[in-house]
Amino acid sequence: MNDECEILRIHREWIGLEESGKEEGILKFCSRDVVWLVPGLGEVQGIEAVRSYLIAQPETVIVSIDTFNVAVEVSNELAVKRARFCTTFMDGATEAKVRGTHIWTLRKDRQEGQWQVTSVAWVIDAETS
């Protein structure tokens, strides 16, 4: 499997874990020194801090996460993945949507030959429904 295909596989698995309510499972794709830039919160640094952040989030039922305009750029052992997204979730008894853009940087582990997400950032569009 080439690098771009491997990164897209990680992307699909990550989305699947979020949709199934198993957000903590995404940490298997992250480096120990991962950094998340969370809108309205700022930097969350290190895998254990990200785990704590995920655990502290209110329980949300995600109906679906659609991604589009997904692009991957690979340069040797570094890569960037970006995508637009639309997440549909339950807000009480009402379905709501949030749209935005996310970006990852990734590094290929030289010993294991696997890609690890080293940073995650996203921005929410001004208009949501």
Give me the domains of the chain, ranges plus CATH numbers: 3-124 (3.10.450.50)
pLDDT tens string 66-77: 999 999 999 999
pLDDT tens string 80-123: 999 999 999 988 888 999 999 999 999 998 888 899 999 999 99
Residue percentage of the chain with pLDDT more than 70: 97
Q: Round the CA-based radius of gyration of the chain to a whole number and report it.
A: 15
How far are the Cα atoms of 57, 83, 84, 96, 123 from residue 127, in angstroms, in the given order?
22, 18, 14, 12, 12
State whether the Cα torsion 106-107-108-109 is positive or negative.
negative
How far are the Cα atoms of 31, 77, 108, 115 from residue 111, in angstroms, in the given order?
14, 12, 9, 11
